[in-house]
Amino acid sequence: MATIIVNGARREVQAPNDTPLLYVLRNDLELSGPQFGCGLAQCGACSVLLDGKEIRSCITPLSSAAGKEVTTLEGLPARWAQQKSLSKAEAEKTLHPIQDAWIEEQTPLCGFCQNGMMIKATELLERVAKPTVAEIKEAFTTSGPSAHLCRCGSYTAIIEAVQRAATVMGKGR
């Protein structure tokens, strides 16, 4: 049992402390953004932000998230709205620029991996305002426990979507 803060809300979770955070998010909290791909920290489909850092929720026990802030794909719009101090009315009709860029670039193919791709992009662009192509590739390949894998080969579109989102997110910085 643990208290975690998920997308800005405190949630009391009754699951055992060694339950993978992914199971808690999907089964207990009904958040279907994070996906079960490999279950071994090898693909990135299950990624979420934990205190702003991308983690693989399939191998992260619930106890590791206790008292920390978890952001899932579902929480990205509110995260952006808070960062930009948007009004409630504005926030309700605003996606995160990364989500907008993913739509504009028509990035997903089957879509299964894209949760992790957008979470990774969020972590990167909150840290580096205008990453180079090399920095984008590094973020998605060697910076974490494994590369983020896309069986459909959407990698080029991901780079373009990250660059598009960086332009929007960088405005006013």
Does 147 participate in binding ligand FES (rule CB under 6 A)?
no
Q: How far is CA 108 from the centre of its chain?
A: 15
Cα–Cα distance for residue pair 159/140, rounded to 1 Å: 10
Cβ atoms within 10 Å of 170's Cβ, excluding its own: 12
Please list every residue from 55 through 84 that binds ligand FES, using CB under 6 A: 56, 58
Each residue 82-111 as x (binds ligand FES by CB under 6 A) or -, in order, gives: --------------------------xxxx
Provide the minimum distance between the beta carbon of 6 and ligand FES in the complex, in angstroms, as a whole number: 17
User: How many residues in total does the chain contain?
Assistant: 173
For 53, the enclosing helix (H) or strand (E) is strand 53-56
Does 150 participate in binding ligand FES (rule CB under 6 A)?
yes
Given 1, 103, 151, 170, the residue binding ligand FES (CB under 6 A): 151
| Beta partners for residue 53, in sequence order | 50
Does 20 participate in binding ligand FES (rule CB under 6 A)?
no
**Number of amino acids touching ligand FES (CB under 6 A):** 23
Given 21, 25, 43, 48, the residue binding ligand FES (CB under 6 A): 43
Cα–Cα distance for residue pair 35/37, rounded to 1 Å: 6
Cα–Cα distance for residue pair 104/56, rounded to 1 Å: 27
Closer of 78 and 164 to ligand FES (Cβ): 164
DSSP type of residue 82 = H
Helix, strand, or coil (residue 5): strand
Per-residue tokens: 17: 């402390």
Provide the minimum distance between the beta carbon of 82 and ligand FES in the complex, in angstroms, as a whole number: 27
Does 159 participate in binding ligand FES (rule CB under 6 A)?
no
Provide the minimum distance between the beta carbon of 117 and ligand FES in the complex, in angstroms, as a whole number: 7
Provide the minimum distance between the beta carbon of 168 and ligand FES in the complex, in angstroms, as a whole number: 22
Half-sphere exposure of 39 (CA within 13 A, CB side): 3
Interface with ligand FES by CB under 6 A: which residues? 36-39, 41-46, 56, 58, 108-114, 150-152, 154
